[in-house]
């Protein structure tokens, strides 16, 4: 007998399991609305031409495969942080923001969780939005934090439960952590307005809460990376105790390259140095150092004026296609005869639309129409295109009528 005899079979990942079911489905009309990755107008994965150009430059230059430092490529980190915080950010230029390269947004969240667990008082709770990206919860629990939820989505209107959110900030014990999506909230696509951000920021400050800002869609949401960084920059200006997790998976289409950063806003250069030393101690025994290829690509794109401006256009193109599909899905639903209120589809932003469909409705879409989606009614807008939108709208109308 082996100890492996008693290893139980774990459940499949909720989202990746559905993606597998989609692959195994033989129906010609099948549609994948699960995937959290951009697809072009023909439904195919998309590599940005600016990314291709950067790769060919790296190849031509003969980049080596040497190890990166524990904290990753310094020049990548510097450019990535300027992209998020803004070139002019005083905290950045004065050296008060300390950053490291991470294994995309997931890795950044994991290190943030570990850092909080080590240096905040034992028993500190992290509040995540209800609902949130599913992985946030196990990431934070495995880091040793207590996870609770704050109200976020008003399920009767599929919009922000602003009063619930504010009251949960108020009721959380002072010095808790709030995990906030910087833009394009996943899975709801519901973001606070500028005025609401103001109030949220003030309320969090008043209670002395800490913030983990998770930024997985900068530029991908509105098409304007500066606009999408609004919440991050406001929180820095307001003087929060904040850690930022930054992913380049969606906005650069670098999903499998695992490229991101984690950064901590500190009070002084001296504090920044202490924090950095501890981040290194967390990273070294986990994975030694991050992979280099994705960081080289982002560094090349952001560091070259021409490539950078080409990149901005390409990223805006992805956002634009998604916005068009939102408008088209809504109009096709109306055309199909649906009399429900679908304004939330165009009010929401980012990769996903949170339709408000029940689990039973989602099951019927999959069973009867071979349309695959998560059972919370979340639809990946990236999976929608001119060829399938009418079919999807008719099917949604049929199961929601």
By beta-carbon proximity to ligand PLP, the closer residue of 214 and 332 is: 214
Strands 177-181 and 159-160: unpaired
By beta-carbon proximity to ligand PLP, the closer residue of 134 and 317 is: 134
By beta-carbon proximity to ligand PLP, the closer residue of 104 and 366 is: 104
Task: Please identify which of the residues 133, 161, 191, 342 carries the catalytic annotation.
Answer: 133
Q: Which two tokens stand for residue 352?
A: 């996903």
By beta-carbon proximity to ligand PLP, the closer residue of 108 and 166 is: 108
For residue 346, the minimal CB distance to ligand PLP (Å) is: 20
For residue 144, the minimal CB distance to ligand PLP (Å) is: 20
Beta-carbon contacts of residue 145 (< 8 Å; ≥ 6 apart) = 113, 116, 117, 124, 125, 126, 177
Site residues, ligand PLP (CB under 6 A): 36, 104-106, 133, 181, 186, 214, 216, 247, 249, 255, 260
Task: Please identify which of the residues 161, 168, 191, 214 carries the catalytic annotation.
Answer: 214
For residue 355, the minimal CB distance to ligand PLP (Å) is: 17
133 carries an active-site annotation: yes
214 carries an active-site annotation: yes
For 39, list phi and psi in degrees, rounded to 5. Answer: -125, 145
Report the distance separating Cα 302 and Cα 294, nearest Å.
12
By beta-carbon proximity to ligand PLP, the closer residue of 36 and 290 is: 36
Report the distance separating Cα 221 and Cα 320, nearest Å.
9
By beta-carbon proximity to ligand PLP, the closer residue of 179 and 345 is: 179
What is the sign, positive or negative, of the torsion defined by CA atoms of 218, 229, 349, 103? positive
Report the distance separating Cα 368 and Cα 399, nearest Å.
9
For residue 260, the minimal CB distance to ligand PLP (Å) is: 5
Q: Give the residue carrying structure tokens 């439904």.
A: 43
CB atoms within 10 A of CB 12: 12
For residue 5, the minimal CB distance to ligand PLP (Å) is: 34
For residue 367, the minimal CB distance to ligand PLP (Å) is: 26
269 in Cβ contact with 95 (< 8 Å) = yes
For residue 80, the minimal CB distance to ligand PLP (Å) is: 13
- C-alpha separations of 161 from 45, 168, 190, 222, 300 in Å: 34, 11, 10, 22, 41
Q: Tell which phi-psi region holds residue 8, choosing left (phi > 0), alpha (psi between -120 and 50) or beta.
A: beta
Task: Please identify which of the residues 161, 250, 370, 376 carries the catalytic annotation.
Answer: 250
By beta-carbon proximity to ligand PLP, the closer residue of 355 and 380 is: 380
3-class SS string, 220-277: CCCCCHHHHCHHHHHHHHCCCEEEEEEECCCCCCCHHHCCEEEEEECCCHHHHHHHHH
Beta strands in 103-190 (DSSP E): 125-130, 146-151, 153-154, 159-160, 177-181
As annotated, the active-site residues are 133, 214, 250
């Amino acid at each position: 007998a082996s100890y492996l005899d008693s290893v139980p079979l774990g459940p499949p990942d909720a989202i990746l399991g559905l993606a597998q079911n989609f692959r195994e489905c033989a129906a010609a009309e099948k549609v994948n609305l699960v995937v959290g990755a951009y697809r072009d107008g023909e439904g195919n994965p998309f590599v940005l031409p600016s990314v291709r150009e950067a790769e060919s430059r790296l190849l031509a230059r003969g980049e080596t495969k040497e190890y990166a430092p524990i904290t990753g490529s310094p020049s990548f980190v510097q450019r990535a942080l300027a992209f998020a915080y803004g070139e002019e950010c005083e905290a950045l230029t004065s050296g008060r923001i300390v950053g490291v390269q991470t294994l995309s947004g997931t890795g950044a969240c994991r290190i943030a969780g570990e850092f909080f667990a080590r240096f905040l008082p034992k028993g500190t709770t992290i509040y995540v939005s209800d609902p949130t990206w599913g992985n946030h919860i196990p990431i934070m629990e495995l880091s040793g934090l207590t996870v609770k939820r704050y109200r976020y989505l008003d399920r009767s209107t599929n919009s922000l439960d602003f009063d619930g959110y504010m009251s949960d900030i108020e009721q959380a014990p002072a010095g808790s952590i709030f995990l906030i999506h910087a833009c394009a909230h996943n899975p709801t696509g519901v973001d606070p307005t500028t005025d609401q951000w103001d109030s949220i920021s003030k309320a969090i400050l008043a209670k002395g809460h800490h913030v983990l800002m998770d930024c997985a869609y900068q530029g991908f949401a509105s098409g304007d990376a500066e606009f999408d960084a609004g919440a991050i920059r406001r929180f820095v200006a307001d003087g929060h105790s904040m850690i930022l997790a930054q992913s380049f998976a969606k906005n650069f289409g670098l999903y499998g390259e695992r490229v991101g950063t984690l950064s901590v806003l500190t009070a002084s250069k001296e504090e920044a140095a202490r924090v950095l030393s501890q981040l290194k101690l967390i990273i070294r025994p986990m994975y030694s150092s991050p992979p280099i290829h994705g960081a080289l690509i982002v560094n090349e794109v952001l560091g070259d004026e021409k490539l950078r401006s080409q990149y901005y256009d390409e990223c805006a193109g992805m956002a634009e296609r998604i916005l068009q599909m939102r408008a088209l899905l809504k109009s096709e639903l109306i055309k199909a005869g649906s009399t429900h209120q679908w304004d939330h589809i165009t009010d929401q932003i980012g990769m996903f639309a949170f339709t408000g469909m029940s689990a039973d409705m989602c099951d019927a879409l999959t069973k009867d129409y071979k349309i695959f989606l998560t059972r919370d009614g979340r639809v990946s807008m990236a999976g929608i295109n001119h060829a399938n939108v009418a079919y999807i709208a008719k099917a949604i109308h049929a199961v929601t009528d």
